Amino acid sequence: MTILRSRRSTARRAAVGLAAAGLAAAGLAACSSSSSSSAAAGGTAAASGSSLVVADLAPFSGPDAALGPTYLVSCDGATQAINNAGGVLGHKLTCKGVDTRGDPADAVPATRQMFATTPNLALVIGCTSDEAASVVPVINADKMVAFCMTGQSEFDSTHFQYFYRLVPPDLAESYAMVAIAQQLGYKRIALAFGNDIGSQTFIQPAIASISKAGLTLAANETLDLNASTFRTEADKIVAAHPDVIFTEALGPTDATFLSEVKQLNGGKMIPVIGTSADISPDWYKSVAAAIGASTVASSFHADNLVTETSGPSYTPFYNAIMSEKGKVGSTGNFATYLTAPGAVHLYDGINLAALAMIEAKSTSPSVYAPYIIKIGDGTAGAVVVHSFAEGVTALNQGKAIRYEGPGGPTSFDSYHDSPGIFQIDTYSSSGAVQVTGNITAAQLRAVS
């Protein structure tokens, strides 16, 4: 696994503004245009017997540095399972980490360098909310399939031919957090989100949803992910006497912030509702060390996408992920990856892409891309398969297939979005993830 790094630019704010402003226009133009590398990247199949590369384009450094390794766990596990089942059209798959630093200004040159220096690139995964608005137009112009982990709402209504998403927009997660607060009887809500792009996208939808639900916004504090203390913000939140704190602040930020909240609140933790990004070995390990494992177990809830925890889809997924234990990722409770959205849904995305290559009889993204939705959503008479191995066997028998992985069945819309439904997760005192309830579509509509 190679991690490609680029020099940090001081033009981050300008890059963010340009990316947001140009997203819709890029979506229209990118489908019909391509860069100089598009023939190699998207238009030509890999040479016989060569390895195909799946690039994990995500933060490996900076405040959101835990995301890249989480995705590599999924990539390494999925590709190894695919290789064990014979590979794709005579090719083995391998994974490559590409570091965006979580910064749009660094992500674009890193993406361009990825295309320039990666022969046989067959798929991109990752592309988080930190950098997706700036890199997806570049990826699309190169006719490269990408399964992204961005929740940015811009992608709800802008069509990119090669963009696919198996996670809901961030605003849906904001609604889910409010629905959890309602279920738990909380009335006064405080917000404490990191100042990174991915975390900031939750705030306005959360504020609107809190108002619609008839709840009270008690405080709204932004946490600088580069700071070492958040005592001022914690003091304001404690003084506002909220019933619960909504938060997403990755890296060490939440651990420090929540520890200071507990200290300033007389040693008693204010309940916390987190986003699905907080279902992570790294998040649990740092926060449990800061406020105590028993405190996390008694005071923390998170929204998360519903994932399988048993059955024919879960078993191959479990085996694929757990085979990577000790090789990459966190030193925390490794089993947390079995419910981490990045691990679950990128595993599914890699399998969908690999099976699409088999059915298309091509490793060229411009050829196999249309088969992704066909295999994900299925066609009349399609047999359901639960792993790459099952799928390739059925395809070799001439059967039509519908892939249903641990993330559940897909239902892609015209923008290649297939958002799932939400569950409510907690942690045990040992760090194991526990599902304590579900959030219905009706509950989400009521607060959206």
Convert the pLDDT of each residue in 205-231 to its tens digit. Answer: 999 999 999 999 999 999 999 999 999
Q: Is residue 73 within 8 Å of residue 329, measured between CB atoms?
A: yes
Cβ-Cβ contacts under 8 Å for 378 (sequence gap 6 or more)? 384, 400, 401, 402
Least confident segment among 60-64, 206-210, 382-386: 60-64
Q: What angle do CA 86, 89, 92 make, to 5 degrees?
A: 55
Give the β-pairing of 121-126 and 244-248: unpaired
DSSP result, 247-302: EE-TTTHHHHHHHHHHHHTTT-PPPEEE-GGG-SHHHHHHHHHHH-HHHHHHHEEE
Calculate mean pLDDT across residues 82-111: 97
pLDDT computed for residue 161 by the predictor:
97
The arithmetic mean of pLDDT across residues 170-190, rounded, is 95
The residue with tokens 């925390």 is: 332
pLDDT above 70 covers a percentage of the chain that reads 88
* All residues at 6 or more sequence positions from 178 whose CB lies less than 8 Å from its CB, including other chains: 189, 206, 209, 210, 213, 215, 447
Give, for 411, the enclosing helix (H) or strand (E).
none
Provide the terminal-to-terminal Cα distance of the chain, rounded to the nearest Å: 41
Q: What is the pLDDT of residue 368?
A: 98
Higher-confidence position of 408 and 147 = 147
Distance CA 312, CA 352 (A): 16
Q: Which of 47-51, 160-164, 197-201, 304-308 has the highest mean pLDDT?
A: 160-164
The 8-class DSSP code of residue 246 comes to E
Mean of all residue pLDDT scores within the chain: 88
Q: What is the distance between the alpha carbons of residues 370 and 387, in angstroms, rounded to a whole number?
A: 20
Which of 14-18, 21-25, 254-258 comes out lowest in average pLDDT? 14-18
Q: What is the mean pLDDT of residues 142-147?
A: 98
The pLDDT of residue 37 is above 50: no
Written as six digits, the tokens of 355 are 């099976």
How many other CB atoms are found less than 10 A from the CB of residue 379?
10
52 backbone dihedrals φ, ψ, rounded to 5°: -95, 140
Provide the pairing of β-strand 216-223 with 146-148.
unpaired
Average pLDDT estimate for 93-99:
98
Residue 48 has pLDDT above 60, yes or no: yes
Q: Which residues of 257-288 are buried (b: 16+ CB within 10 A; e: fewer)?
A: bbbbbbebbeeebbebbbbbbbbbbbbbbbbb
Please tell me the distance from the alpha carbon of residue 380 to that of residue 399, in angstroms, as a whole number: 11
Calculate the dihedral angle through the C-alpha atoms of 301, 427, 438, 344, rounding to the nearest 10 degrees. Answer: 110
- Residue 396 CB neighbours (<10 A): 10
Q: Is the pLDDT of residue 13 over 60?
A: no
User: Taking the C-alpha atoms of 41, 45, 120 and 341 in order, what is their torsion angle to the nearest 10 degrees?
Assistant: 80
Query: Which stretches within 98-202 are classed as H helix?
Result: 104-117, 132-141, 170-184, 197-200
β-strand pairing of 93-99 with 52-58 = parallel
**pTM given for the model:** 0.77
Q: What is the CA radius of gyration of the chain?
A: 21
Question: Tell me: the pLDDT tens digits for 274-331?
Answer: 999 999 888 999 999 999 999 999 999 999 988 888 899 999 999 999 999 988 755 5
